[in-house]
Structure 1
Amino acid sequence: MALIDLHCHLDLYPDPEGVVAEAVERGVYILSVTTTPSAFKGTRKLASPSSRIRTSLGLHPEIASAREHELALFESLLPQTDYVGEVGLDGSRPRRISLDRQASILMEILILCARAGGRTITLHSRGAEKLVLDVLETEPLAGLPILHWFTGTKRQIDRAVERGCWFSVGPAMLSSERGRKAVATMPMERVLPETDGPFGEANGITLMPWQAMDIVPELSRLWRMNMTEVYRQIANNFVFLLGAAPRYDHGSSIRWS
């Protein structure tokens, strides 16, 4: 059984080296997201290129306005990775005031991705689901979007599917009725596992990367499939995602095998 975590903040665990060592031993496929461009190089050094861990270049919307000056660094680092994230918009009460600025920054990031040939992009959308889709539609060549912890309406999910979006879903998301309702609406062939660790929790305990597949029992119920079929569906989704992701040659061996 493949272990897959498509959205995890490895550098923000209390003991990132220990988490990486265990993840490598278990053979977990991890997309390690970052919150600022300045964190990218240090986070990438946590794992060997020969491991199943890949590092994405991020500028988290919660701090994007304060770190807008790092966009130049983002642009310079972009050729070094196939993956962008965590980026997006946050419309929660404390950050709603900066949404216009966040949207401008996200647009600039998507333009940079399009100019670079496209990237696989993992996106935050809390409290701003519609606006994230609006911004994505302004730059269709930006790449392949993965909506992380997306709890939009059925109409918004249908719209995201039409745009070519995927969805990463974790145990923490499935612990709420709103999350389960959203996942039940998503096409099963577009669903991928995540933990959002160390922020994602289950029963008050921080989720580890190898626990992303703990979504399987709940998906089995939502999809009315046995767990073996759900594992197979998720594994097939991951393989298909890799085949669908933007392809270009930037002279480094950073793609998952």
Structure 2
Amino acid sequence: MSIGNSPEDDRPSEDSAPRADDGPSIGRALQQARIAAGLTVDEVSQSTRVRGPIVHAIEADDFSRCGGDVYARGHIRTLARAVGLDPAPLLEQYGAEHGEPAAPTPATPLFEAERIRSEPRRPNWTAAMVAAIVAVIAFVGYTVVSGGDDDGGKQQAAEGATPATSKPATKPSPGKKPVDPKPDPSDSAIAAAPQDKVTVKLNASDGRSWISAKDHNGRTMFDGVLERGQSKTFQDSTKIDLVLGDAGAIQLYVNGKQIADEFQPGQVERLTYTKGDPEVG
């Protein structure tokens, strides 16, 4: 059900044209698969989060309402999976009819996703090395502070002092519990996310991407572009809904855990996360 749209918005654009060849068009193939699956447009809209008017328009081969070529491909892929079709032939057909995606340019419109990478994501070894160095420095500092007296005793014995002048090593009392070691300062701050809330962190490590975040009431928490190197953290008591314009450019952390994804550059993803172990809603 579409909220805030006039009846004219629910009708497909008149610019769409039927296919001239013998095979079914993209929209017709999606419509036939949806009907064969026993699904209504509203049911497909709810499961894919693609608005009903856009579903109607795509089934009529009108892609002008998708908001751009990248979003049109993302909608085709999402709808095809929802009705049990292989999206690859439909995307190939779309490319033959509308042209292949243009190469990335230095500046793009606000709501168009860029193709930043052409090769698979690799582990962020730089961040891992920095974390390891910080951990080593913290361990050395802790050792120097806590073991200063013992070092002094060893130095005095080396200079010829009698062993009786050095401090004996203290042993923990039988009734006392050992003090828990301090947490490694290299741990990410998001690892301490509260268990009674859902916490999502987005890091644009591989490029810039348009993102949208909403809380469990549907209120917008953020809607805009995350530039390369920037990060955003969102928190809600129940759930957080995300839309990633270029999911391949984003590193995602949910409730203190990094989400291992296979998102491709330029891929549009709609995700929902709740409390506990991160699972896509």
User: Structure 1-normalised TM-score?
Assistant: 0.27
- Structure having greater relative contact order (Cα 8 Å, sep ≥ 6): 1
Larger helix fraction of residues: 1
User: Structure 2-normalised TM-score?
Assistant: 0.25
